[in-house]
Structure 1
Amino acid sequence: MKYEAEKLESYTGHRDCVYNVTGHSDENKFISSSGDGLLVEWDTRNSDLGKPLAQMKNSIYAVHFEKSQNRVWAAENFEGLHLIDLATRKEIANLALNKAAVFDIKTYKNLVFVAGGDGVITVIDSELMAFKKHIKSSDKSVRSLSINPVERELAAGFSDNTIRIFDLQTLELKKQINAHRNSVFAVKYSADYQTLLSGSRDAHLKIWNISNNYKLEEQMVAHMFTINHIAVNPSGTLIATCSMDKSIKLWDAQNYKLVKVIDQARHAGHGTSVNRLHWLSDENFVSASDDRSLSLWKVTQYEP
């Protein structure tokens, strides 16, 4: 199979680097966060300026849409966690955190996991809006989190080059993997939760076999520079990676072969680091970049 990629739209309006993009209850919408402290809601049916959801004093690296509750968690760096109800577009809670950057947020049932630049994974009970545990297993930043509800595990990528696997019920450390030669910026479980994907400042993409005690199954030099994020489309057929090298790459999730490179020269892609990706459907995804813009992409599969 061959794949073609087309840029459908660009979204501009942020005044600083766009660090993150997440989902929305409306499948035609998505939410971005930026160094300008803005959370913005965008609509793929309308390319005009997005609608601000919140304005914060500091930059926002981490934002997460919690689908089951129709709400958005956003971490204001060096301040705290903000919870916004999408139906009312109002902030309904906030919680002060350690004075550190926050790089990722994930939710599982009533638990919220926050990845801190101080090496702490903060676990919050979202029903009580109270701290449940502070997991400190490194002095280096926690850069990325991924949830495996089947195995009930949390994977965390650290700047000490390791991946650590935690039990979602006991919150205890189950396994430590000396994964990369540099900081692990991205971890992502596959759609069937049988493998864990990881990306690093060493530009390598690695695939770990969960059923075989997280044994390394595949690895490749995927980009020229840091892999910032890994995203898997809803059906689990395509893996997308993005990098500081300004490119986005698509990989076949069955054999891990490269099927498409999306860059500035060939596709009018981003001019600087691509920080984050979010699949809206099996065919459409959004990318966020240091160039202060977001792009909407359409991926088409065809027989050669």
Structure 2
Amino acid sequence: MPRLKVAKIAQLTGHNASVFALGEDQSPNTFLSGAGDGWIVRWNLDEPENGRLIAKVETQVFSILHLPERNMLIAGNMNGGVHWVDLENPEKTRNIAHHQKGVFAIEALGDHILTAGGQGMLTKWDRATGKALESLQLSNQSLRSLAVSPNQKEIAVGSSDNSIYLLDAQTLSIRHRIKNAHSNSVFALAYRPDGAYLLSGGRDAHLKVWQLTDVPKCVEEKPAHWFTINSIVFSPCGRWFATGSRDKTLKIWDAESFELLKVLETIRDKGHLNSVNRLFWTPYQNYLISASDDRSLIIWKVSPANDTNV
């Protein structure tokens, strides 16, 4: 197994509170962050020291999603509000008090948007109009994570009731409920790009790999971190995936064998001082971006050990 080279490119500061959300932006070389200070900031990967505040909400931002065709941003806050931010005309921004106890995840699904709330409700929105179309009460506990399958036919939802729900993307009907998927809340979900496996991470610090046959089956389980796994993302090339944890570390894994390749930590790698809350892997220069409770973001460049361009 070839080793990886990981170079720390920059550490971005400017937020005044924990950074909880990361997402793509209108250009390949920019990305967005949202934090506990209510700020949504645009960062340029070519000039990473210059973050630009593009929106502000009244409370903590837990999740964000950019809609390039509408030049709009959707942000979920800690009180359950869903903000539809018009980036061209910020005064037209709407805040819809829809969920309760937080909007922990937002995902795009074709012509629709999905939001997951702290009271266990999943809502489907019209992407063009911003209207709520359908809501499903999945659990009496928080829905903490969302993932849409590569073929857009299935939705995975992770809950604080320890379950993973697999839904039909068209009808929102429940195909499977994996009870006791973890021994505590399911904080992170990600489909492998080929759609054959679903990865999950929980408050129990375990990483699980689910084979998506007629009946989902756990084929790998690893005590991957010391504390909660908050985020799982695959690299754009599909060769690797990364996990971020409350134990302050990032770990990079092989997407085929699920073997650990690299650990990025506080002292040796000049990593984060506190919990790693969110990861975002951009195709631009193959940069992996991490966001933390230490109020900063770090840009990492990941490449094979034999790559001489790092």
Q: After TM superposition, give the deviation of residue 125 of structure 1 in Å.
A: 1.7
Partner of 2:48: 47
Partner letter of residue 177 of structure 2? Answer: Q
RMSD between aligned residues: 1.8
Q: After TM superposition, give the deviation of residue 283 of structure 1 in Å.
A: 2.6
Partner letter of residue 128 of structure 1? Answer: T
Q: After TM superposition, give the deviation of residue 71 of structure 1 in Å.
A: 3.4
Q: After TM superposition, give the deviation of residue 89 of structure 1 in Å.
A: 6.6
Where structure 1 has 5 or more consecutive residues not aligned to the other structure, the ranges are none
1:220 and 2:185 equivalent? no
Partner of 2:182: 180
Partner of 1:171: 172
Q: Residue deviations 1:193-219, cap 9 Å, x none?
A: 111000001111011111352211111
Q: Helix, strand or coil for the counterpart of 1:128? A: coil
Q: After TM superposition, give the deviation of residue 47 of structure 1 in Å.
A: 2.9
Partner of 2:196: 194
Q: After TM superposition, give the deviation of residue 53 of structure 1 in Å.
A: 1.1
Partner letter of residue 251 of structure 1? Answer: W
Q: Helix, strand or coil for the counterpart of 1:48? A: coil
Partner letter of residue 288 of structure 1? Answer: A
Q: Is the 8 A contact 2:80 2:117 kept in 1?
A: no
Q: Helix, strand or coil for the counterpart of 2:300? A: strand
Partner of 1:63: 64
Q: Helix, strand or coil for the counterpart of 1:266? A: helix
Q: Is the 8 A contact 1:190 1:232 kept in 2?
A: yes
Partner letter of residue 204 of structure 2? Answer: D
Where structure 2 has 5 or more consecutive residues not aligned to the other structure, the ranges are none
Distance of 1:79 and 1:218 partners within structure 2: 34
1:290-301 alignment, distance < 5 Å: 290-301=293-304
* More displaced stretch, 181-190 vs 211-220: 211-220
Q: After TM superposition, give the deviation of residue 248 of structure 1 in Å.
A: 0.1
Distance of 2:29 and 2:294 partners within structure 1: 23
Distance of 2:21 and 2:34 partners within structure 1: 5
Q: Is the 8 A contact 1:21 1:277 kept in 2?
A: yes
**Equivalent residues, number:** 303
* More displaced stretch, 238-247 vs 108-117: 108-117
Q: Is the 8 A contact 2:80 2:118 kept in 1?
A: no
Q: Residue deviations 1:7-53, cap 9 Å, x none?
A: 10011010000111111121111100000000000111213341111
Partner of 2:205: 203
Distance of 1:127 and 1:283 partners within structure 2: 31
Q: Helix, strand or coil for the counterpart of 2:267? A: helix
Where is the strand percentage greater, Structure 1 or Structure 2? Answer: 1
Partner letter of residue 293 of structure 1? Answer: S
Q: After TM superposition, give the deviation of residue 170 of structure 1 in Å.
A: 0.9
Distance of 1:217 and 1:67 partners within structure 2: 37
Q: Helix, strand or coil for the counterpart of 2:268? A: helix
* More displaced stretch, 290-299 vs 44-53: 44-53
Q: Helix, strand or coil for the counterpart of 2:204? A: coil
Q: After TM superposition, give the deviation of residue 85 of structure 1 in Å.
A: 4.5
TM-score normalised by the chain length of structure 1: 0.95
Q: After TM superposition, give the deviation of residue 70 of structure 1 in Å.
A: 4.8
Partner of 1:26: 27
Distance of 1:70 and 1:237 partners within structure 2: 31
TM-score normalised by the chain length of structure 2: 0.93
Structure 1 segments of 4+ aligned residues over 4 angstroms from their partners: 67-70
Partner of 2:146: 145
Distance of 2:10 and 2:60 partners within structure 1: 25
Distance of 2:227 and 2:275 partners within structure 1: 10
Distance of 2:98 and 2:30 partners within structure 1: 29
Partner letter of residue 293 of structure 2? Answer: D
Q: Is the 8 A contact 1:287 1:296 kept in 2?
A: yes
Q: After TM superposition, give the deviation of residue 190 of structure 1 in Å.
A: 0.8
Distance of 1:144 and 1:187 partners within structure 2: 6
Identity of aligned residues (%): 37
Partner of 1:127: 128
Q: Is the 8 A contact 1:12 1:49 kept in 2?
A: no
Partner letter of residue 182 of structure 1? Answer: N
Q: After TM superposition, give the deviation of residue 156 of structure 1 in Å.
A: 0.2
Q: Is the 8 A contact 1:115 1:142 kept in 2?
A: yes
* More displaced stretch, 44-53 vs 263-272: 44-53
